[in-house]
Amino acid sequence: MDKIGQLLERGFFGGIVIAATFAGAAVFLYLVYRLIKFLQPKEARQKEQRILSHRFYKVSGRGRASYLILCLEEALLFYGQDFSDWEQILRELWSVTNRSEGDWIGNWLDSVGELLPSQILTTTLPSSDDIREIQDLYTRFGTKMILVNALMENAYTMVCEWSPDTVVHDPDALHFIDEAEEMMKKFGVPLPVDEAVRFLLSQKDFSIGKPFDGLRLSHLSKGV
């Protein structure tokens, strides 16, 4: 019994030593991590903090793109546009939220790419009556198309640069949102602030995210 007691005692103290060793290793690794963070240039630390504190940092790709579409609708509303004139364009844009079959990203890029102002306004011979009507719509909108074009291009490029193997939360995509908000402020257009934005902020995913019905967030569903 004495031998068993001695073995148990040794095992007990051995466990304490092992636990202390692991705890010490964890503390050591944490201190190394803090040292690396401390040695980072101040600008790099500030940039990382801005990314981590960005309200869209943990929002899915679909959610981020949807926010840019909301910004576009806010601009159209601000300029007193008839949403029925923009319905085809907006429906194509919003389809980013519910497409999920096959090469849906490629298909979305193809359909939306044909509607971009940079594409439409440089087309001398429209391929259809629909394209001609959109060309006329963009032309009538005049210089305000600068903002509309920027918002559509940002949404398009954000999705274009997204891929299934993108790093977690893709911090690089956040600058599209920052640029859009900055342009909205310069043009005096208010940012989206209603329950639609709160819904998008709840769409947390490290990748493109699960499909959802984005059209219900649109002014198209509100009869504007």
Confidence of residue 7 (pLDDT cuts 50, 70, 90): very low
Q: Is there a domain that residue 90 lies in?
A: yes
Q: Are residues 138 and 33 in the same domain?
A: no
Q: Is there a domain that residue 46 lies in?
A: no
Q: Are residues 93 and 21 in the same domain?
A: no
pLDDT tens, residue by residue, 128-160: 898 999 999 999 999 999 999 999 999 999 998
* pLDDT(8) > 50: no
For helices 145-160 and 61-78, angle between their N-to-C axes, nearest 10 degrees = 170
Q: Are residues 190 and 218 in the same domain?
A: yes
pLDDT tens, residue by residue, 166-189: 555 667 788 899 999 999 999 999
Which range, 16-30, 41-55, 165-179, 186-200, has the best average confidence (pLDDT)? 186-200
Residues counted in the chain: 224
Q: 144-148 long-range contacts, Cβ below 8 Å, gap at least 24? A: 144/75, 144/79, 144/187, 145/117, 145/121, 147/75, 147/183, 147/184, 147/187, 147/189, 148/72, 148/75, 148/76, 148/117
* pLDDT(17) > 60: no
Q: What is the pTM of this model?
A: 0.76
Q: Are residues 35 and 126 in the same domain?
A: no
Q: Are residues 85 and 167 in the same domain?
A: yes
Q: Are residues 25 and 104 in the same domain?
A: no
Q: Is there a domain that residue 51 lies in?
A: no
Q: Are residues 111 and 149 in the same domain?
A: yes
Average pLDDT score over the chain: 82
Phi and psi at 40, nearest 5°, equal: -65, 145
Q: Is there a domain that residue 6 lies in?
A: yes
Instruction: Work out the average pLDDT over 101-105.
Output: 85
- The per-residue pLDDT for 63 is 94
Q: Are residues 19 and 106 in the same domain?
A: no
Q: Is there a domain that residue 47 lies in?
A: no
Contact of 184 with 150, CB cutoff 8 Å: no
How many domains is the chain built from? 2
Q: Are residues 13 and 115 in the same domain?
A: no
DSSP H or E segment with residue 106: helix 104-113
Least confidently predicted of 27-41, 90-104, 108-122: 27-41
- The per-residue pLDDT for 20 is 45
Confidence of residue 164 (pLDDT cuts 50, 70, 90): low
Alpha carbon of 119 to those of 153, 202, 203: distances in Å? 11, 34, 31
Which range marks the domain in which residue 213 is found? 56-222
Q: Are residues 106 and 214 in the same domain?
A: yes
Q: Is there a domain that residue 108 lies in?
A: yes
* 40 vs 131: which has the higher pLDDT: 131
- The per-residue pLDDT for 144 is 92
Q: Is there a domain that residue 144 lies in?
A: yes
Q: Is there a domain that residue 48 lies in?
A: no
Q: Are residues 213 and 127 in the same domain?
A: yes
Closest alpha carbon to 175 in 208, 199, 200, 150: 150
Q: Are residues 86 and 197 in the same domain?
A: yes
Contacts of 186 (CB under 8 A, 6+ apart): none
